[in-house]
Structure 1
Amino acid sequence: MLRPHPAVLRRLVDDYEALPAVEETAHGSMPSPRAQDLAYTLCVSTGTRDVRQALEAAHRWLATTAPAAERGPLTGATSGAE
């Protein structure tokens, strides 16, 4: 199974986990479109169907990833214009 880059996965988890406190005051129990988008992307990225399972899988994967891999997006890509 393909896995997302650790930096991308870390950002998704952090963004999703930062939302609930804001959403409770702004939207009651209705998730915002941003929360829905993040939940969907987390599920697709982890091969799960439930955001709680997606977060558990993401945390497990990130716990086994070297810290250097979480620092930033993939590097070494060329733009093709040289």
Structure 2
Amino acid sequence: MLSPRDAASLIPGCTAQTLRRWAHAGKVPAAVLPNGRLLFRRRDVEALLEPQVMGPEGSEVSGSSVGSSGVVPGQGALL
């Protein structure tokens, strides 16, 4: 289990306060201690780093949609 500061250090450009906001908004799972402090699982934080691809009808599809070459479909259109 990671403190908000330790968890935020795994995400480039993220702060502990941002992670707390995401946890309170339900965007990332967190354990709430009796004193109100938050703790994050490493795997939940690392899951935020995986690319999310939007599938048909706006549903999120996990990083498994990334092709075998490691390229996200449609990625070249932005270059």
- What range is the shorter-chain TM-score in? under 0.3
Query: Which protein is richer in strand relative to its size?
Result: 2
Q: Relative contact order: is structure 1 or structure 2 higher (C-alpha 8 Å, sep ≥ 6)?
A: 1
Q: TM-score, normalised by structure 2?
A: 0.28
Q: TM-score, normalised by structure 1?
A: 0.27
